Amino acid sequence: MSPFSRAVVAVCSALLPMLVLAGCAGNVGGTGQPESDDTRFVAGDGKVQIFEPGERKPAPVVEGRTLEGGQTSMAEGKVTVINFWASWCAPCRAEGPTLKDVAARTKSTGVDFLGINFKDQQAAATAYDTQLAPGYPSIHDQAGKVLLGFSGTVPPAAIPSTLIIDKEGRIAARALGAVKYQALLDAVTKVSSESR
**pLDDT tens per residue, the chain (196 residues)?**
554 444 434 433 433 333 333 334 333 333 333 333 333 445 578 899 999 999 999 999 999 999 999 999 999 999 999 999 999 999 999 999 999 999 999 999 999 999 999 889 999 999 999 999 999 999 999 988 998 898 888 776 678 999 999 999 999 999 999 999 999 999 999 999 997 6
| Phi, psi values for residue 60, rounded to 5° | -70, 170
Distances, alpha carbon 33 to alpha carbons 10, 48, 49, in Å: 34, 11, 11
- Beta carbons within 10 angstroms of residue 111's beta carbon: 19
Is the previous residue joined to 160 through a cis bond, with omega within 30 degrees of 0?
yes
3-class SS of residue 161: strand
End-to-end CA distance of the chain: 61
